[in-house]
Amino acid sequence: MAVREGAGSTTGLRRADCEALDAADPLAGWRRRFVLPEGVIYLDGNSLGPLPKATEAVVLEVMRGEWGEDLIASWNKHGWVDLPQRLGAKVARLLGAEPHEVVVADSISVNLFKLVAAALDLRPDRHVVVSERGNFPTDLYVAQGLRDLLGERIELRLVAAEELEAALDHDAALLMLSHIDYRSGRMHDMARLTAAAHDSGALALWDLAHSAGAVPVDLGAAGVDLAVGCGYKYLNGGPGAPAFLFVAERWQAEVRQPITGWFGHADPFAFERGYRPAAGIARFLAGTPPILSMKALEAGIDLFLEIDQQALRAKSVALTDMFIDLVDRRCAAWGLEVASPREASARGSQVSLRHLEGYPIMQALIARGVIGDFRAPDLLRFGFAPLYVRFVDVWDAVEALEAVMAGRLWDQPAFRQRATVT
């Protein structure tokens, strides 16, 4: 092993050293649990996690053995009816939450609608939702939609990250933030900002889309009120996997939400005329849960329940530190700039690079088997999911990036053709 200068330094590092790091990696065995095509370095698990090998058998069994054999009896016989709560209890273990504080349902967008409305209802004498200008678009769109619907009763106050605390005044009902920024990978200090929200009398709602399964989260310790998160990114639940939502126990008795569907009713199969909310987290359900998707998500989540979150974080930091240092050394000459925090404690499990030709550069990389993605106007994103990304993948990805830059391999019309999903 080469002599290292410090955290992330790759002075004198060779590919063989990366192989040695992989050989010594306590998480190395997990890679075999995923379907990863030959010749591909997959650095986009922050957008769509790969297929866990177990998932295929799980979904086939649900189709053949449950739906196919037991038909509608499966709702009772195979516990389909409370799958959202059972899965929520599993997700809770990754979030530092109690089992009854999380439920799996719908998409983040729909869950945000429920929770932003719920928060405003819990703070009737206040009308401001504070968020970050650069928050993920769907989060802001949902808040805008509610504002347009409710008119003067909501003001959306969007500020820069440094201005968040100052924006929390006595009108603030809710602080709504993404824990990890989807563009830069910057991670907020959840406990500090939640405390600032509470000091002003507001509630705190966190979007954990890039956190769950990527970094340790402790909603309980941070005193978080509300949260949402994604099933198809780091949790590897499959395309369009259901999302999850968290409501702290202390709010569950009084909280209300606007999508009052029958699955959130106290007694759905009594078919009463009037709506009565279920006790607890179940009132945040709306319609019939998508069982096949939920079962696929469960197979993804089950992998994480066996893994020490701190070990996952340690490897994620080592991978991202190494990538940043290698890019600095080998690719800076071509104008590639690191757009993520260099301090690991302020970074999630992704590294973003900035370049005006980011789109064709990413397409050229993908053509060489290194899969990341692009976010307009100029960001190349690389996700380092520590369950299946190896140190040697980091090395090879930077090697490919250097080749693409040095040879101007990206400078071809075909790589400029924008697809719908970038």
Ligand X SMILES: *Cc1c(COP(=O)(O)O)cnc(C)c1O
3-state class (DSSP) for residue 312: helix
Of residues 147, 330, 381, 390, which has the active-site annotation? 381
**Terminal C-alpha separation, the chain:** 38
Q: Does 230 bind ligand X (CB under 6 A)?
A: yes
Near ligand X by CB under 6 A: residue from 132, 207, 298, 325: 207
Neighbouring C-beta atoms of residue 152, cutoff 10 Å = 7
Amino acid at 3: V
422 binds ligand X (CB under 6 A): no
Q: Interface with ligand X by CB under 6 A: which range of 59-67, 132-140, 281-289, 291-299?
A: 132-140
388 carries an active-site annotation: no
Evaluated on CA atoms 234, 238, 240, 245, the torsion sign reads: negative
Distance of CA 158 to the CA centre of its chain: 22
Q: Which stretch binds ligand X (CB under 6 A): 10-18, 97-105, 134-142, 186-194?
A: 134-142
Tokens 């301090």 correspond to 343
Subset of 182-201 contacting ligand X (CB under 6 A): 182
Exposure of 118 in the CB half-sphere (CA atoms within 13 A): 29
Q: Is residue 15 among the annotated active site residues?
A: no
Task: Tell which one of 103, 203, 209, 327 touches ligand X (CB under 6 A).
Answer: 209
| Single residue of 109, 144, 260, 422 touching ligand X by CB under 6 A | 109
Beta-strand relationship, 128-132 and 155-159 = parallel
Among 74, 131, 178, 340, binds ligand X (CB under 6 A): 178
Torsion of CA 342, 348, 351, 354, to 10 degrees: -80
For residues 111 and 194, which CB has a smaller minimum distance to ligand X in the complex? 111
- Out of 232, 323, 391, 415, the active site residue is 232
Find where tokens 């069994």 sit. Answer: 61
Q: How many Cβ atoms from other residues are within 10 Å of residue 225's Cβ?
A: 26
Q: Is 233 a catalytic residue?
A: yes
The answer to whether 381 contacts ligand X (rule: CB under 6 A) is no
Select which of 207, 321, 325, 378 is catalytic: 207
Q: Can you tell me whether residue 269 is helix, strand or coil?
A: helix
- Is 402 among the residues that bind ligand X (CB under 6 A)? no
Select 200 or 352, whichever has its Cβ closest to ligand X. Answer: 352
31, 86, 122, 138: residue in contact with ligand X (rule CB under 6 A): 138
Known catalytic residue at 207: yes
Please give the DSSP secondary-structure letter assigned to residue 169.
Answer: -
Annotated catalytic residues are 136, 207, 232-233, 381
> Given the rule CB under 6 A, which residues bind ligand X?
107-109, 136, 138-139, 178, 182, 207, 209-210, 230, 243
